Amino acid sequence: MQKRMTITMDEAVYEGLMRVVGRGKVSQFLEALARPHVLDASMDEGYRAMGNDPQREAEASEWINGLIADTAHAAR
């Protein structure tokens, strides 16, 4: 889920962002800059490690496929 935010900045900074990053890409740029400062980096590293573990990924895939099969027979 994304949230909208209004920020105020110096005109020179704004113009620099438009010139360097480009219109329509500023939000992604600022989010990438802020993310390591406001989110727990160890959690990102943990998810990355889990994704690089083939056995764990196979088990997760098997589990999720089982859930999908369960929903096929669920009452609607």
29 with 16, same domain: the answer is yes
23 with 48, same domain: the answer is no
Q: How far apart are CA 68 and CA 70, in angstroms?
A: 5
Per-residue pLDDT band for 74 (boundaries 50, 70, 90) equals: low
Helices (H), the chain: 11-20, 26-38, 41-51, 54-72
44 with 70, same domain: the answer is yes
Domain of residue 62: give its range: 40-76
Q: Bigger pLDDT: 72 or 29? A: 29
> For residue range 27-55, what is the model confidence (pLDDT) as tens digits?
999 999 998 888 877 777 888 888 888 89
Whole-prediction pTM value? 0.50
Q: How many domains does the chain have?
A: 2
Residue 44: inside a domain: yes
Would you state the pLDDT for residue 73? 67
30 with 58, same domain: the answer is no
12 with 34, same domain: the answer is yes
Would you state the pLDDT for residue 76? 63
